[in-house]
Amino acid sequence: MKNVKRILALSLAGCMMAGVLAGCSDDSSSGDSENKGALTGDSSIDTSEVKSIYFLNFKPEIADKYEEIAKKYKEEKGIEVKIETAASGEYEKKLTSEMAKSDPPTIFQINGPVGYSNWADYCADLKSTELYNLLNDKSLAVTKDDGVYGVPYAVEGYGIIYNNAILDKYIATDGAVIKSVDEINSFSKLSEVVQDMTAKKDKLGIEGVFGSTSLKTGDDWRWQTHLMDLPLYYEFNTGDGSSITNCLNAAELEFKYADNYKNIFDLYTDNSCTDKNLLGGKTVDESMAEFATGKCAMIQNGNWAWGQISGIDGNKVKEEDVKFLPIYTGVDGEDKQGLCVGTENYFAINSQVDAAQQQASIDFLEWLFTSDYGKKAVTNDLGFIAPFTSFGDNEKPTDPLAKDVLNWMEKDGYTSVAWTFAGIPSETWKNNFGASLLEYVQGQKEWTAVVDDAKADWKTERENAATE
């Protein structure tokens, strides 16, 4: 109890003192948000004075891998890379307090255009760096006017992960509605299969078709962000400009595809291995464990989840049985829809640290994505599908989910769904929407109210962001 006061007081005090001290030292060098020298492509900036750089990592699940890479880098180049990791869902908070310190992160992460607008004063222009030039699709980068402020380092994909062994078992049963998984190419087909599977769940040895729709606060991102991507994509992919930009510029949300969202969301919760009323206590970890131990046949998640599936004790899912299905919601023409592919992970370099440190940070990233050791670590340890031309075909990831993402991306005639959720006005919108979904599932809120609140919230949050 007293800890509360202490922790709160100490951390706030810490932040503020750091601010006081940093503020003092800044006064002498006039101008807070001014760029301290631009980054260059060649290494004309002398980095020999730089002893250490500081990388604020976004992904807790691979924090220890980064530590190993940092150790190796120190051995090779003599520069220490300080790795700090924010807890899941706490990145913005951590970044806010770390940035105020006298030794702020030199490499940090923004989650796209919205993240960029929050941190615009701190993002260095990366246009002339090798890192940007190596991108295989330059349109993926976060740009503003002529500058490049965020370079994506990992492409990810998500959809409905299914356990092929259970699906095969189902197909072998009497009266199965499909002969092969490939026949599932629309919401109606998916829903038919799922409902039939639910009816036969004892025979199939599962507790439900889908894993728990985890709606615990902080564990609801698969629904309030990822699943929300589909209605957003269809609403804003009007053929005129990128869907992300359109979404980002939308002052209001029409939520035209709300019914489609409801389709799939209801399908998840009605055919889940967990009762609706208990979903509020479920975490992502728990629901991934359900999938890994064979309690359910399908689960919505992305390629990053492989580590979680394979690492769970009592894992019964074989590597060759894990595959992706696109998330079908009943939109016209969805038979040619692919997985949701995009990135939320952009590296940014802190423009407020001195030029040599900025350069040293860039050097580290370039080393990571071009050196043999670095590339191997990226593919095997970090598990990224790196969007850089420096990676050869034989350097692509080998885990089954990442492979299947690439497989879907290369399928002829299929269109991947862009990560339009990057244009959602704020984290607050997502959290409110997640809370709404929980109340809906628990029967405390009508669907129409969920939709209306989401629309109203979109408007206020967008206005809020605009006044900043």
* Sites of contact with another protein (CB under 8 A): 1-5, 7-10, 12-13, 15-20, 22-23, 26, 32-33, 92-93, 96-97, 99-100, 118, 121, 215-218, 275, 277-281, 426-428, 431-432, 435-436, 438-439, 442, 444, 464-465, 467-468
Half-sphere exposure of 174 (CA within 13 A, CB side): 1
Q: Nearer Cβ to another protein, position 248 or 340?
A: 248
Q: Nearer Cβ to another protein, position 363 or 461?
A: 461
Q: How far is the CB of 352 from another protein (least distance, A)?
A: 9
Q: How far is the CB of 292 from another protein (least distance, A)?
A: 21
Q: Read off the DSSP letter of residue 398.
A: -
Q: Which residue has the tokens 């423009």?
A: 351
Half-sphere exposure of 439 (CA within 13 A, CB side): 15
Q: Nearer Cβ to another protein, position 98 or 130?
A: 98
Of 312, 183, 329, nearest to 268 by C-alpha is 329
The two three-digit tokens of residue 82, written as one number: 């300080």
Q: How far is the CB of 430 from another protein (least distance, A)?
A: 11
Q: Nearer Cβ to another protein, position 71 or 93?
A: 93
Q: Nearer Cβ to another protein, position 23 or 311?
A: 23
CA distance 229 to 140: 17
CA dist list (Å): 204 to 164, 167, 190, 209, 377: 12, 9, 17, 10, 39
Q: Nearer Cβ to another protein, position 144 or 216?
A: 216
Q: What is the DSSP string of 2-42?
A: HHHHHHHHHHHHHHHHHHHHHHHHHHHT--SS---S---SS
CA distance 382 to 376: 9
Q: Nearer Cβ to another protein, position 204 or 215?
A: 215
CA distance 158 to 300: 7
Q: Nearer Cβ to another protein, position 27 or 49?
A: 27
Of 457, 461, 454, 456, nearest to 257 by C-alpha is 454
Q: How far is the CB of 34 from another protein (least distance, A)?
A: 11
Give the 3-state secondary structure of residue 391: coil
Q: How far is the CB of 453 from another protein (least distance, A)?
A: 10
Burial 92-118 (b: 16+ CB within 10 A, else e): eebbebbbbbeebbbbbbbbbbbbbbb
